[in-house]
Structure 1
Amino acid sequence: MRSSRYRRPLLPALAAVAALLASGCGSSSGGSSSGGSQTITYWSSDQGSSIADDVSILTPELNAFTQQTGVKVHLEVIGWKDLQNRVLAAATSGQGPDVVNIGNTWSATVQATGAFLPMSSDVMTQLGGGDRFLPGALAATGAPGKDPVGVPIYSAAYALYYNKAMFQAANIANAPATWDDFLADAKALTHAGQWGVSVEGGSTTENSHHAFTFSQQQGGAFFDASGKPTFDTPQNVAGIKQYVDFLGADKIADPSDAEYSNGTEAVKDFATGKAAMLLWQSADATLAKYGMKKGDYGIAPVPFPAAPPAGGKHVDSIVGGINLAVFANTKNKDAALKFVKFMTSKQTQIDLNKSFGSLPSVSDAYGDPAFQTDAAKVYQNVLATSAAPMPAIPQISQFQTLVGAVVKNLFADAASGQQITDQLVAGQLDQAQQKLQAGS
């Protein structure tokens, strides 16, 4: 186990979460030397269609790194349900890996723990220079004005996936560009054994992402300029109600979707013909696992309101992605940074992002034909023109947990037949805001 000497104070709310989980943290030794060989530990997020698939994709790359450097890598792939809690627990206990994946929306939260190595200009130089990374991706690595808490490894954005055969059968010529068209198409595509859209209604992470985007389109925000929470504004209520109504009032999503939470169930329903549309990040690898060919579906930007409300923003996605971070108390700093440099090198970026269906975080990888397809260009255009980063404030992780849970509960209510009203949404958002302010 790692030494517990590194115990920087967390924010009160983070400490409460992490303290409860620290005893269950599956941490390892953070590196060792045995028989002259050095070993580092890497916690990777689950990027593929299963943890087993991730291991099979990552293992050849890790072996190549070992051949180049002599440093072995102990890999643990952690599902999204557990990753955030594991990372926060490791941050407070000092018992964690050397290198870890973090969702880029968590960057400011983990930065506030003080447990991660700042990517100063000197460190960036060791990694080949900060100008190698896409500016938008690099911006989502911590709070403004501070050294990044990691570097981007995978970039992603949300898009609308649609089943071409189902659209043709319903005489729908094009992917919907507005929510009015989306709703009309989804209703036309909903009939016995088939739904207009599939959602991962039990996933707090997915829910928080959509809550942010739908709120932006309504002209809302969950925090003001000073970082004060503003959860229950009319704009936020309208955005969340619109999303939950897919399953509720609009009846274009299967009520069972309210229970989907593992990151593959909604995608599987789309791939197997149970739903005609899907709002998702980089689903190609998972769709292929379930037998759906690339020619079977199209990809388009997420729709916008036909008549944007006052203050509505032209935002259709979060700036999605994964960052690589190094624990500050690692005993293997040099080896860990060599690993980060390897994982963000041109060829490794090409190999990994091809396999996972995501986009590279470094500009020199985009010359590969895999990132010149029409689908890849949709994602690139979204990231360049209409994606927005989630607020870079320490409370953003709590926001995702609390507001994601509100949406989860509302989906469950809708699935049980309860009417989802503005008052119901506002009341639950108010309760979530009180929990955030109380530090729970």
Structure 2
Amino acid sequence: MSTTAQPQQDMKDILRPYLQANPSLRVNVTVLNWESAWARINAAAESGQGPDLLELGSTWVTAISAKGALEPVPSTVQGLVGGAKQFFPALWGSTHRLNDSQIYAIPWYAGARVAFYRSDLFQHAGIRPNEAFANWGSFKQAMQKLKGIKLDGKLVGAFGYPGKNDWDILHNLAPWIWNAGGDFLNADQTKAIINSPEAMQAIRYFKSFADEGIVPASALERDSAQIEAGFFKGEYAVIFSGPWVLKMLSTDKAKGGQRESVTARNFGVASYPAGIKGNQTFFSGSNLAVMKSSKNKEQAWKLLQFLVSREAQIKYSTLSGMLPARLDALDDPILQQMPHYADFIAQVKLGRHYPVLPAWGKLETVFRTHIAQAVSMKTNDGSDSNKLGALSLKRVLDQAANEADRILKENP
């Protein structure tokens, strides 16, 4: 899937040493965008006709393996790549289904989200970052203090996040829900609890920044990439995003980066502000798997081993900005050169993944659709409408839970 600026060319660069060592091998690469990839891969799984080796988002492995479309990873291959101990635990947990120890994929790269903030604006407003990101209360106070701040005579949005049309809206909300003590499913993953008081509290808190004008109304019409671009241009003091932002801020403008920008000289990273259940972040990534329909399984397993090797993962990380999935690659000097890389890695330890069950792909669509509807509702316009807004929000979340429960019953 498209994760780098030139995915076709970048894959050629990654594969070059492997193909030089295997001159008789030909590798055809097909690049998909994330928005259409699920439908394409799902169709391939249904038809039994697909590529030898494919990338799967970490939330997709269980659904595709449940269709019988993936070849189990041989124990010999698992041993050759280092096994579970060599990868982030949260990402290794996505390589198999709940209550099933059979491994169907190997982690390729990882990603997590943290807060990026303008250190110069925080200093100008007299805000200490360690205090601002301590908890929900201190974060709200800091954002209120930043509201109306100007940079070079231009108004800066205190906080920037995208609105209902953003593909990543569920990922944006998940840490807030978890940190409030809420979740998407109950402990045994048999019932949806997205309509719990804790989840509702988190969504209302998240929405309050837009309702109070701390998040500019214009931001809600943007997607994640546009919010990140706005941060680079000095339009927002705080955003929450992934390691690719570090990559952009350490890459020369001539190569499409932002290293010469004012933001690159004045930024820091921090964890999500803590709720009553801590300050976890959303942790995800991608895995590589071999399809059962492959006519070239031996070559596919060898290619997979190369792609998840330490050297190949470091190369991919330098091109994409994503984190290596391998723990032994995290401290590579090339990656350590990025400003605040070590700070980012410290936050990754707080990462949490979605549930690993076959129905998650359908559930994610339901949750994303209804959360997009929820965040677009107005609920803070005074006491009467606030009560009405809370009831409307509850109805939306109840509907999401009901639809999710039906999916869980159909896909036990």
Question: Normalising by the residue count of structure 1, what TM-score does the alignment of the two structures yield?
Answer: 0.79
1:150 aligned to which of 92, 105, 108:
105
Cα distance 1:193–1:409, how it changes in 2: closer, same or farther (>3 A)? Answer: farther
Q: Is the 8 A contact 2:88 2:325 kept in 1?
A: yes
1:399 maps to what in 2? Answer: 363
1:107 aligned to which of 61, 65, 81:
61
1:220 aligned to which of 171, 177, 182:
182
Shift of 1:426: 1.7
2:2 maps to what in 1? Answer: 46
Distance in 1 (alpha carbons) for counterparts of 2:143 and 2:113: 18
Residues 1:206 and 2:161 aligned together:
no
Q: Structure 2 matches for 1:155-234, cutoff 5 A?
A: 155-175=110-130, 176-177=132-133, 178-191=135-148, 193-202=155-164, 205-227=167-189, 228-234=191-197
Q: Percent identity?
A: 23
2:267 aligned to which of 297, 310, 317:
297
Could you list the runs of 5+ residues in structure 1 that have no partner in the other structure?
A: 1-44
Distance in 2 (alpha carbons) for counterparts of 1:149 and 1:389: 17
Q: Is the 8 A contact 1:46 1:79 kept in 2?
A: yes
Distance in 1 (alpha carbons) for counterparts of 2:165 and 2:80: 37
Give the counterpart letter for 2:64 in structure 1.
V
Residues 1:271 and 2:232 aligned together:
yes
Shift of 1:216: 1.5
Shift of 1:422: 2.6
Distance in 2 (alpha carbons) for counterparts of 1:414 and 1:206: 21
1:238 maps to what in 2? Answer: 201
Cα distance 1:56–1:172, how it changes in 2: closer, same or farther (>3 A)? Answer: farther
Give the counterpart letter for 1:219 in structure 2.
G
Of residues 264-273 and 366-375 in structure 1, the stretch that sits farther from structure 2 once superposed is: 366-375
Residues 1:68 and 2:29 aligned together:
no
SS in 2 for 1:226: coil
1:314 aligned to which of 269, 274, 278:
278
Shift of 1:112: 2.0
Cα distance 1:399–1:284, how it changes in 2: closer, same or farther (>3 A)? Answer: same
Shift of 1:130: 4.5
Q: Is the 8 A contact 1:90 1:96 kept in 2?
A: yes
Shift of 1:299: 0.8
Q: Is the 8 A contact 1:213 1:316 kept in 2?
A: yes
Distance in 2 (alpha carbons) for counterparts of 1:270 and 1:209: 19
1:427 aligned to which of 382, 386, 395:
395
Give the counterpart letter for 1:220 in structure 2.
G
Of residues 214-223 and 190-199 in structure 1, the stretch that sits farther from structure 2 once superposed is: 190-199
Shift of 1:212: 2.6
Could you list the runs of 5+ residues in structure 2 that have no partner in the other structure?
A: 149-153
SS in 2 for 1:329: coil
SS in 2 for 1:75: coil
Q: Is the 8 A contact 2:166 2:222 kept in 1?
A: no
1:281 aligned to which of 211, 226, 242:
242
Distance in 2 (alpha carbons) for counterparts of 1:80 and 1:131: 29
2:151 maps to what in 1? Answer: none
Q: Is the 8 A contact 2:209 2:215 kept in 1?
A: yes
Q: Is the 8 A contact 1:258 1:408 kept in 2?
A: no
1:377 maps to what in 2? Answer: 342
Of residues 429-438 and 197-206 in structure 1, the stretch that sits farther from structure 2 once superposed is: 197-206
Distance in 2 (alpha carbons) for counterparts of 1:290 and 1:371: 16
1:81 maps to what in 2? Answer: 35
SS in 2 for 1:182: helix
Q: Is the 8 A contact 1:46 1:54 kept in 2?
A: yes
Distance in 2 (alpha carbons) for counterparts of 1:359 and 1:94: 31
Shift of 1:298: 0.8
Q: Is the 8 A contact 1:132 1:362 kept in 2?
A: yes
Distance in 2 (alpha carbons) for counterparts of 1:196 and 1:142: 41
Of residues 132-141 and 348-357 in structure 1, the stretch that sits farther from structure 2 once superposed is: 132-141
2:321 maps to what in 1? Answer: 357
